[in-house]
């Protein structure tokens, strides 16, 4: 059994392993003055940046000039519910009473870059 394991490790060390580097750019918000993005390179921390040029096309061109290929563009909706439920419920008005809940949705665009 030990010889089989050593042979497997030897063959694995000789094989060519293709690794890919992925970068996920999450566009948090876009205004006429700036672009707020979050960059995930696979590490523990996600970097948050503000770019003064609000063009998504120039952001894609910047990553492509660094050798990355735009693999996917995904979009999603992030729902945020802020507020609190009241402690006492009133059965006269409704089951929940008066709440101060606010619902906001953010359309998010994620750019998936791959570098071989």
The CA distances from residue 103 to 20, 64, 81, in Å, are 39, 37, 5
More confident: 56 or 7: 56
Confidence of residue 9 (pLDDT cuts 50, 70, 90): low
Domain boundaries of the chain, sorted by first residue: 19-82+100-116
Whole-model pTM: value is: 0.61
pLDDT of residue 22: 86
- Of all residues in the chain, what percent carry a pLDDT higher than 90? 18
Lookup: tokens for 87: 């402690």
The DSSP symbol for 96 reads S
Confidence of residue 70 (pLDDT cuts 50, 70, 90): very high
The Cα 112–Cα 74 span in angstroms is: 8
């Amino acid at each position: 059994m030990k010889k089989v394991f050593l042979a497997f490790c030897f063959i694995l060390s000789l094989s060519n392993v293709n690794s890919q580097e992925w970068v996920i750019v999450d566009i948090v918000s876009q205004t006429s003055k700036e672009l707020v993005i979050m960059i995930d390179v696979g590490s523990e921390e996600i970097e948050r940046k503000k770019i003064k040029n609000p063009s998504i096309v120039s952001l894609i061109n910047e990553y492509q000039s660094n050798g990355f290929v735009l693999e996917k563009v995904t979009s999603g909706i992030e729902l945020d519910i802020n507020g609190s439920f009241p402690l006492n419920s009133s059965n006269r008005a409704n089951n929940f009473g008066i709440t101060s809940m606010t619902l906001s949705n953010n359309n998010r665009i994620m750019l998936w870059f791959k570098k071989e």
